[in-house]
Amino acid sequence: MQRRPRRNRSSATIRNMVQETHLTVDHLVQPIFLVEGHQVREEISSLPGTFRLSLDEVLKEIEACLQLGLNKFIMFPAVPEANKDKTATYSYHPDNFYLKAAQEIKARFPECCLISDVAMDPYSSDGHDGLVSDGRILNDPTLPILAKMAVAQAEAGFDILGPSDMMDGRVGYIREALDEAGYTDTSIMSYTAKYASAFYGPFRDALDSAPKAGDKKTYQMNPANQREALIEAELDTQEGADFLMVKPALNYLDVISLLKNNFDLPIAAYHVSGECAMLLAACRNGWLNYEQAMPETLLSIHRAGADVIITYFAKDFAKM
Ligand code: PBG
């Protein structure tokens, strides 16, 4: 035999020498669900091990993560139904508990990187990412709402904003609003290829943010499409995005790889709630080994081309 690939696998030392990808906590972002109140720690039943936390608990959580070297967080607000309306006004209200919390977190831990979603759904009485009229999701009238929300988030101290709404033209619109308000250093991590996926279930349970009517298929992408992601990536790049995100991650590794090979911006992937829940369910049933299956899963997302991975397993990975 001329060639024996097994020689390069013959010992741990050799295997490490030829290992092509390495995943570290530097690449990982931990999601946090914030709720109003004090000493609140409510587990999300469809995503065991993930909690809705009040600010005092979040501060403890962030401190624990920082000690593990994990310093990037994406935050989501669980907004009381009474504060939701058709135009998501609470998203930029001066009394918004989420914005105040971000301010306090940045004051306490200036070294941590805080990311925020920009979309109407947690604040919308319709549970949609855009303005709803006669059952239709309006694109252009949604943009000024997103821009107000983005400027309020930048003002609160968020380092990176993630427009997750999939409205056309929103990255450019938000970029212009941020620049006009003087937030030229606030980054945009665009949810570039966000698919109309069945894997967001536990997240919508956490925020009680599921659409009241209809689905998100007129704005989120069709799971059957790959080339369409190139159009979204081209537009987001032109409009000034700093990162391009693919979401979900595991069922869309081909899309991650496609964007990585065709664009120069850093690629992020969102390992979403349903994907994490699926793995947890198998591990809790004794069907898979968490310590092995979880890092292998995250590594596969990185290997496909994601520089940044948002995952509910970030803290566990950091511990390991
Ligand atoms: C809101 C948003 C969603 C997720 C992140 N931002 C849900 C949705 O679009 O319905 C899902 C994340 C997850 O499932 O972990 N626009």
170-179 pLDDT tens trace: 999 999 999 9
Q: Is 247 part of any domain?
A: yes
pLDDT band at 40 (very low <50, low <70, confident <90, very high): very high
Q: Which of 33, 207, 272, 301 to mutate to test the pocket of ligand 1 (most atoms within 8 A of CB)?
A: 272
Residue 254 has a pLDDT of 98
Q: Domain limits at 157? A: 21-319
Hey, what amino acid is at 210?
Answer: A
Q: Please give the distance, rounded to the nearest whole angstrom, from the Cα atom of residue 179 to the centre of ligand 1.
A: 26
**Nearest alpha carbon, ligand 1 atom 8:** 200
pLDDT tens for each residue of 103-159 = 999 999 999 999 999 999 999 999 999 999 999 999 999 999 999 999 999 999 999
Q: Please give the distance, rounded to the nearest whole angstrom, from the Cα atom of residue 201 to the centre of ligand 1.
A: 9
Residues with CB under 6 Å of ligand 1 are: 117, 119, 121, 129, 164, 200, 203-204, 272-273
CA 273 to ligand 1: nearest atom? 15
Please state, in angstroms and rounded to a whole number, the distance separating the CA atoms of residues 191 and 177: 18
Residue 211 has a pLDDT of 92
SS3 76: strand
Strand-strand pairing, 28-35 and 308-311: parallel
Can you say whether residue 211 is alpha, beta or left, with left for phi > 0 and alpha for psi between -120 and 50 degrees? beta
Q: Which of 137, 190, 203 to mutate to test the pocket of ligand 1 (most atoms within 8 A of CB)?
A: 203
Total domain count for the chain?
1
Q: Any idea what DSSP says for residue 91?
A: G
CATH at residue 300: 3.20.20.70
**Nearest alpha carbon, ligand 1 atom 16:** 164
Q: Is 277 part of any domain?
A: yes
Instruction: Summarize the confidence of residues 58-63 as an average pLDDT.
Output: 98
Residue 297 has a pLDDT of 98
Q: Is 2 part of any domain?
A: no
Q: Is 222 part of any domain?
A: yes
Residue numbers annotated as active site: 194, 247
Q: Please give the distance, rounded to the nearest whole angstrom, from the Cα atom of residue 248 to the centre of ligand 1.
A: 9
**Nearest alpha carbon, ligand 1 atom 12:** 272
* Look-up of token digits 């020689």: 7
- Residues recorded for the chain: 320
What percent of the chain stands above pLDDT 70?
100
Q: Is 7 part of any domain?
A: no
Instruction: Summarize the confidence of residues 19-25 as an average pLDDT.
Output: 97
pLDDT band at 83 (very low <50, low <70, confident <90, very high): very high
* 246 vs 207, higher pLDDT: 246
Please state, in angstroms and rounded to a whole number, the distance separating the CA atoms of residues 255 and 272: 15
Q: Is 312 part of any domain?
A: yes
Q: Is 123 part of any domain?
A: yes
Q: Is 101 part of any domain?
A: yes
**Nearest alpha carbon, ligand 1 atom 7:** 200
Q: Please give the distance, rounded to the nearest whole angstrom, from the Cα atom of residue 273 to the centre of ligand 1.
A: 8
Instruction: Summarize the confidence of residues 248-252 as an average pLDDT.
Output: 98
What's the mean per-residue pLDDT of the chain? Answer: 97
How far lies 117's CA from each of 64, 81, 178, 221, in Å?
A: 23, 19, 15, 18
